[in-house]
Amino acid sequence: MISFVISIGVLVLGYFTYGKFVETIFAPDPKRETPALRLNDEVDFIPLPTWRIFLIQFLNIAGLGPIFGAIAGAMYGPSAFLWIVLGSIFAGAVHDYFSGMLSVRHDGLSISEIVGIYLGPKMKHLMRYFTIVLLIFVGTVFLMGPAKIIDGMTNGYWNIWVWVAIILAYYILSTLLPIDKLISKLYPLFGIAMILMSLGLFGALMFGDYHIPEIVPANLVNMTADPEETPLFPILFVTIACGAISGFHATQSPLMARCMKNEKLGRKIFYGTMVTEGVVALIWAAVAMVFFGNVNGLNEMMAAHGNNAAWAANEISVNMLGQVGGLLALLGIVAAPITSGDTAFRSARLILSDIFKSNQRKIRNRLLISVPLFVVAFVLTLVDFGIIWRYFAWSNQTLATVVLWTITAYLMDAKKAYWVTLLPAIFMSMVCSTYILIAPEGFQLDNTLAYIGGGFITLFITGLFLWYKLGPSYRTGKVLAEKG
């Protein structure tokens, strides 16, 4: 219990200390006119109140991640606490802040365009396709995931495809309508519900007869049922993504970068929402470790139910919070992924509009871009959900890694403290390269070979980056400090 409470305290303290340090490095200019004011188109570029932006950004980045990912990560034991805290403060929140603020500085551009500015046109073209594929994966995952949850909650009252159709209809509306017509109206309500659900679980932990395992050396081991099959490194660092660091966040930040009235709001909106998500992930990880007795009990129950985190989340909410918990579970566990799915499609639309220079004021232009996205997503719903989820998890962390390298390039150009993103970029490169070598959906190499291979790949990526930035290939096209 002590370690859990300290972990929350450290996360909050990180916002006021390291978050302030990161903000100082970027140096936001409160007098600089933001894209929301300069480029207001009454569709995507619209000034919104800060509290609305905070809640929209929180729900955009949250989704199923801090709930499902935290429950799955809790199967490893208290090591999950360390990754959530350290990952959120030193990697995830830094990633979110800089990606959001770079979008603000570059007229609300999508993340793929920003990657192109700092890593060159070849990376821009690669990341355009990669990001759109990732967003379609997200939209598909958050289309089928909520539909399965609702179908389970209603005991199959309707066919699951009815729920898919209803959610898809909502996605179409939220993708096409101006951001202040639907998203800004619903998100605050759902955001408050999710926060209340988390606070209710926190209160149940504090006042109930639960014994949360402490962060001590004896507990910092792989507590999963088969440690050899699911090694702590790198699996844990991909399993808990949105609760620590997630590339998906970088696709969402430009949405809010187009709505901010002042650059000084960046730390609250981008760094602050990541820390808030980290707190939510900590609560869910702790609850998962104690609700079924202990970590071993969690592993046994998850195995018995096909490692279905949705089932575990529903059981926890209803049993720990009662009837109110059931309602909050419906709003939090169902609405959260839906509110990430719709903005995934919206982000994909904006990326494609940036690519084709398509003015989004006209509904016709929005339809031309959006319809193919929904057709592809619907086709993907016919593919096994588990396969989509696994590839989404890896591609999500890979995008985060590329964004960290991009921010490092920006900081080097601006002659600022680039180590704040260089170190997590190197670490996440090792995570992603090792994961694809070791995972079932990857090359399935022996653990030792995967670690050696991941190390070589990480050294190669780091060397290639430094050669590009510091070597003769770094030409006159570099971005100067006045752009940021």
pTM given for the model: 0.90
pLDDT of residue 16: 97
- Split at pLDDT 50, 70, 90, the class of 387 is low
Least Cα distance to 454 among 398, 406, 372 occurs for 398
Q: Residue 399 falls within a domain, yes or no?
A: no
CB 151 within 8 A of CB 353: no
- Split at pLDDT 50, 70, 90, the class of 453 is very high
Say yes or no to pLDDT of 476 above 60: no
Its domain, for residue 17, covers: 2-392
Give the end-to-end CA distance of the chain in Å, rounded to a whole number.
43
Distance CA 103, CA 109 (A): 5
Say yes or no to pLDDT of 473 above 90: no
Say yes or no to pLDDT of 482 above 60: no
Cis ω for the linkage preceding 47 (within 30 of 0): no
Q: What are the tens digits of pLDDT across the range 225-272? A: 999 989 999 999 999 988 899 998 999 999 999 999 999 999 999 999
Distance CA 125, CA 80 (A): 35
Please give the residue that has the higher pLDDT: either 10 or 198: 10
Count CB atoms within 10 A of the CB of residue 216: 9
Q: What are the tens digits of pLDDT across the range 141-181? A: 778 778 877 887 777 788 888 998 999 898 999 899 998 88
Q: What angle do CA 439, 440, 443 make, to 5 degrees?
A: 70
Q: What is the CATH number of the domain that holds 135?
A: 1.20.1740.10
Average pLDDT over the chain reads 89
Q: Residue 158 falls within a domain, yes or no?
A: yes
CB 235 within 8 A of CB 435: yes
Give me the mean pLDDT over the 355-378 stretch.
89
pLDDT of residue 87: 97
Distance CA 371, CA 176 (A): 10
38-52, 75-89, 168-182: the lowest-pLDDT one:
168-182
Distance CA 138, CA 130 (A): 12
How many distinct structural domains can be found in the chain?
1
Distance CA 324, CA 430 (A): 43
């309602």: which residue's tokens? 327
pLDDT of residue 158: 86
Q: Residue 478 falls within a domain, yes or no?
A: no
Burial bucket for residue 437 (CB in 10 Å: 0-12, 13-18, 19+): buried
Q: Residue 174 falls within a domain, yes or no?
A: yes
pLDDT of residue 327: 72
Side chain identity at residue 10, one-letter code: V
Q: Residue 402 falls within a domain, yes or no?
A: no
Give me the mean pLDDT over the 188-211 stretch.
86
pLDDT of residue 187: 78
Q: What angle do CA 63, 249, 123 make, to 5 degrees?
A: 140
Least Cα distance to 98 among 167, 26, 188 occurs for 26
pLDDT of residue 49: 95
Q: Residue 386 falls within a domain, yes or no?
A: yes
Give me the mean pLDDT over the 56-77 stretch.
87
Distance CA 295, CA 287 (A): 10
DSSP assignment of 225-254, as one string?
S-TTTS-HHHHHHHHS-TTT--HHHHHHHH
Q: Residue 348 falls within a domain, yes or no?
A: yes
């403290």: which residue's tokens? 417
Say yes or no to pLDDT of 479 above 70: no
Say yes or no to pLDDT of 477 above 70: no
286: phi then psi, degrees, rounded to nearest 5: -65, -45
Residue 446, SS3? Answer: coil
Give me the mean pLDDT over the 341-346 stretch.
87
Q: Residue 21 falls within a domain, yes or no?
A: yes
* Percent above pLDDT 90 for the chain: 58
